[in-house]
Amino acid sequence: MDDQIKLQKILVTGAAGFIGFHLSKRLLEEGREVVGVDIVNDYYDPAIKEARLSILEPYSGFKFVRADLADRQVMENLFRKESFDGVVNLAAQAGVRYSLVNPQSYVNSNLVGFVNVLEGCRHNGVKHLVFASSSSVYGSNTKMPFSVHDNVDHPVSLYAASKKSNELMSHAYSHLFGLSCTGLRFFTVYGPWGRPDMALFLFTRAILEGKPIDVFNYGKMQRDFTYIDDIVEGVVRVMNRPARPDPAWNGDNPDPGSSYAPYKIYNIGNNQPVELLHFIKVIEDTLGKKADMNLLPLQPGDVPATYANIDDLVRDTGFKPSTSLEEGIPKFIEWYREYFSV
């Protein structure tokens, strides 16, 4: 498309994280420069974050900065010194259930840290800010599939509220300063090097160790599981295509997914919700071992189903995530067995 640009020097925040690692590796393999920022905290085992970084560090185009996004002075200095073409903000305090017990960490990372990123972009000529939102912003919505054109004002966790806040904050900067901002609502990402607090990791470990797994909503939960390579492909395609004002946007009937300002929201999901019990069955089949399941009710902050409408993503980028669980889960388990030597 004629409105694509090539961003050569990119800040990836959360570069030691699951998605940040995979995206950084992809960008480096394309010959781009990546400055990765991560605090490498202990929300989950830092050893896996260090192992991811050890794969990135040999690339000549990679520079790593161990820092907290909430540290205003450090972020100001970093943006001023490096002159980024583009920024992909993936750093965040993740997890829905953790937000019930440690809300302050979400404010520091997801709000204070994010405004420091916005300020850095504003003052240093960044051409495009792409940031991770989440399917959790759909909250109490029940109209399926979830569309970026639907209102999302009823979050059911502080994590979801912080992600919705990022969308609102970036829109304000887009309006005030002409900063091109694109928010990506990710749907249940999984794959090799995945987070140890996510279901696939937890279930695989427990089944291999012969321990029971907690299955919420009695296994009736539905998730739009999206393989990591599909997420990265979507991010790269969007990244090269800065948000533009929508000439059809109308304040009498405001579309939440676009704007008169250079601002856009996309869903990136597999467009195919899967019941949790089927997800578990694919893990069992891959491992050749049955799970011992504790069937439990829906947890506070959880939503019973997610399902992404990806029409805008397909229309604007020509990309449609398509990796099935039957393809993706074996790739994760192969990585898991190799990483943990089991």
Q: Quote the CA–CA distance of 159 and 99 in Å, as a whole number.
A: 6
Q: β-strands 222-223, 274-275: how paired?
A: antiparallel
Identify whether 159 is a catalytic site residue: yes
Q: Quote the CA–CA distance of 208 and 257 in Å, as a whole number.
A: 43
**Exposed e or buried b for every residue in 255-280, given b needs 16+ CB within 10 A?**
eebbbebbbbbbbbbbbebbebeebb
Nearest to 14 by CA among 24, 1, 6: 24
> 196: which 2 tokens?
């140890």
Indicate the burial class of 70 (C-beta count within 10 angstroms; 0-12, 13-18, 19 or more). Answer: buried
Query: Which entry of 159, 173, 263, 266 is annotated as an active-site residue?
Result: 159
Indicate the burial class of 306 (C-beta count within 10 angstroms; 0-12, 13-18, 19 or more). Answer: buried
Q: At what angle do helices 325-340 and 276-287 cross, to 10 degrees?
A: 50
Catalytic site residues? Answer: 159
